[in-house]
Structure 1
Amino acid sequence: MSGPGTASRFTVAGDDPFIIAEIGVNHDGRLERALELVHSAASAGADAVKFQWFDPRELLSSSASLVAYQREAGESDPYQMLSRLQLSSDDMARLISCARGLDLQSIVTVFTPHLVGKAMELSWDILKTASPDLINRPLLEAVDGTGLPLLVSTGGSTLHEIQESLSWITTNEPGLLHCVSSYPTADQDASLGAIRVLGETTGLPVGYSDHTTALETGGLAVAAGATILEKHITWDRKAKGPDHSSSMEPDDFSRYVAFARRARQMVGGFEKSVAPSERAVIAASRQSVSALIDIPEGTVLQRKHLSTMRPGNGVPPAQLDSLVGLRVLRTVTSGSLISYEDLQSESDS
């Protein structure tokens, strides 16, 4: 895709946006539900599915706490919440296999360097870091060292922090995901204009990790320059859990994907050119130089003889003044187009 950022491994055929169905923890710690969501993502037309891999014992200190949206979802303890939402390494292997069988790429967000090593024991296609870990240098250096394609979320960060984090990634060219770390994200906070800023500043492929509730946001992000979209999906927005309420159910996600791909078609190639479908209309509706009155054979043209009329397959209006002073070789009736073949310069007579 031309425009903000550069082409990358995160684009697909026809420059369509690379669309990630973020299953995250919406499987509720159940492999069977995770597998169902992988199938839902494939049916909706996603390009990839993403999961989160964490170990609460490594991730949470004794002073860790819940954030507001997690408490509002009914959670009371961060350790219990994450423990309930874990999947095993064997579960992850099953999910990768399922995704591959459905022609989906598999992505995992890792939260600690130790899990980067465990992730490399499986066959993930892409690694990702979450927004809070943008400033986590040890983790970024660990994922950078794997050689796998890397996505970096940027929610809650400044441009300076993003640029600093990129200086730690030396062997990889990551894709950046603009993100707003509020769940759900209000329309006035979506800040889709930042997509172009990130692309122009870094030269990297840039996408949007979408936490809004609107079906149209993905398409709007594509129009703003996003080449990657990430959207949470769930089996039930009313289910108990931290992310269900800001996610999309399968039917809505299918519409979201379709609208985003349609938006990409409508955006085109970030250039101004004549579409093939316009050519016949332009030829019929542009104007050409015409005779304002009957012009007898042998007349030397004056401005008063000339006007413009449709269609546009004759002398262009911009050339009208250049015809003044030329001699008419045959009678041209009022309302007829004048062609160069009808004219002779005085020097040729």
Structure 2
Amino acid sequence: MTSAVRIGDRVLGAGHPVYTVAEIGINHNGDVEIAKRLIELAANVGADAVKFQKRTPDIATPPDMRDTLRDTPWGQMTYLDYRYRVEFGESEYEAIDGYCRELGLAWFASPWDVPSVEFLEKFDVVTHKVASASLTDIELLKALRDTGKPIIASTGMSTMDEIDAAVEVLGTERLVLLHATSTYPCPPEEANLRMINTLADRFGVPIGYSGHERGLQVSIAAVAMGACLVERHVTLDRTMWGSDQAASLEPDGLRRLVRDIRNVELALGDGVKRVFPGEEAPRRRLRRV
């Protein structure tokens, strides 16, 4: 039996509603108005939280990629300049924080470096997220652990030994692990949803799912297999420029995802056999003895 973890005013774990996260990430392309439209979308369809990514570009950009030229909607620029172009600072996050509070929506982010942890702590976010790419960054994991906040950690592109090492640092008291496959978009044969049970049995913590597939079927199946959290990238339009847009859900997709998750929760029931009210008439009509 896995433990439960409280995030804000919600409890994640067996017997509790699935926590739905709309990952905005960097799909805002550095435009706070786009971010606000995505926040509003998430609130309108009943998602529980939105998630961003926070980097200190000089730290989080690999040295061998900094001077690589990249074609962008703002012209050709180095990869480091691009990272600065799409990165939100304090004023943008103040706007995000205020808008989420206004709409009653939780927000948090994946910090990619220690200064970004300190930045996010100024906003008293409800939780911190470890991106799959950061699961082996022990310095970052220690900084996140030391905040005392609950931690959500994705396990994509990781071996079981790497997950073991990360859990050893983070501890299990306030930890939610997410099964993930870091292929964008993820084909069904790489989804490997049985890892949800493997992680639950191994670590005894709530297990969620971070999906990068096209469509909704795999994410819905993850809920049926016991995922306590489902996170999907969202976008206004999958044809927008950006590396995560193609594997993201558009507005109607996010609406259907949240709706279908709630329906699956209802359908799972409690495992106690009973005769339901709708069965009474067929029972009287069809039973011969």
TM-score (norm 2): 0.88
Amino acid of the structure 1 residue aligned with 2:199: L
Rounded Cα–Cα distance in structure 2 between residues aligned with 1:246 and 1:171: 30
Quote the Cα distance in structure 1 between the aligned partners of 2:185 and 2:194. Answer: 19
| Cα distance in 1 between the residues matched to 2:205 and 2:37 | 33
- Aligned equivalents of 1:267 and 1:65: distance in 2? 49
Partner of 2:175 in structure 1? 174
Unpaired runs of 5+ residues, structure 1, are 288-308, 311-349
1:213–1:96 distance in 2 versus 1, CA, 3 Å: same
Q: Deviations over 1:200-224 (max 9, x none)?
A: 1111011000101112222111001
| Residue identity opposite 1:124 in structure 2 | V
Deviations 1:285-326 (A, max 9, x none): 897xxxxxxxxxxxxxxxxxxxxx51xxxxxxxxxxxxxxxx
CA pair 138-285 structure 1, distance change in 2 beyond 3 A: farther
Change (3 A) 1:15 1:172: closer
8 Å CA contact 2:5–2:150 kept in 1: the answer is: no
Q: Which moved more, 1:137-146 or 1:215-224?
A: 215-224
Q: How does 1:24-63 map to 2 (within 5 A)?
A: 24-63=25-64
Please say if residues 144 and 172 of structure 1, whose CA atoms lie closer than 8 Å, have aligned partners that are also in contact.
Answer: no
2:64 alignment partner, SS class: coil
Separation in 1 of the partners of 2:136 and 2:182? 15
Letter in structure 1 aligned against 2:225: A
Deviations 1:111-147 (A, max 9, x none): 1112111211112111111001111111111011111
Name the CA distance, whole Å, in 2 between partners of 1:173 and 1:149. 5
Query: Could you list the per-position Cα deviations for residues 161-219 of structure 1 after superposition, in whole angstroms to 9, with x for gaps in the alignment?
Result: 21221111148421111110010101111111111111111110110001011122221
The secondary structure found in structure 2 opposite 1:146 is coil
Q: Whose RCO is larger (CA < 8 A, sep 6+)?
A: 2
Instruction: Please tell me the root mean square deviation across aligned C-alpha atoms, in Å.
Output: 2.8
Corresponding position of 2:213: 212
1:194 is matched with 195
| Contact preservation (8 Å) 1:23, 1:233 | yes
Verify the 8 A CA contact 1:96 1:123 in the aligned structure 2.
no
TM-score, with length taken from structure 1: 0.74
- Number of the residue aligned with 1:135: 136
What is aligned with 1:262?
263
Alpha-carbon contact 2:25-2:233 (below 8 Å) kept:
yes
- Please state whether the residue corresponding to 1:176 is helix, strand or coil: strand
Per the alignment, in what secondary structure is the counterpart of residue 21 of structure 2?
Answer: strand
Equivalent-residue separation in structure 2 for 1:274 and 1:6 (angstroms)? 28
2:228 maps to 227
Q: Counterpart in 2 of 1:5?
A: 2
Q: Is the 8 A contact 2:2 2:200 kept in 1?
A: yes
Note the residue ranges of structure 2 that are not aligned, 5 or more in a row.
none
Q: Does 1:277 align with 2:277?
A: yes
Q: Give % identity.
A: 31
For residues 26 and 249 of structure 1, the distance between their equivalents in structure 2, rounded to whole angstroms, comes to 11
**Offset of residue 98 of structure 1:** 1.0
Structure 1 62/195 Cα, relative in aligned 2: closer, same or farther at 3 Å? same
Instruction: List structure 1 segments (4+ residues) > 6 angstroms apart after TM superposition.
Output: 73-76
Kept after mapping to 2: 8 A contact 1:177/1:209: yes
Please say which structure displays the higher CA radius of gyration: 1
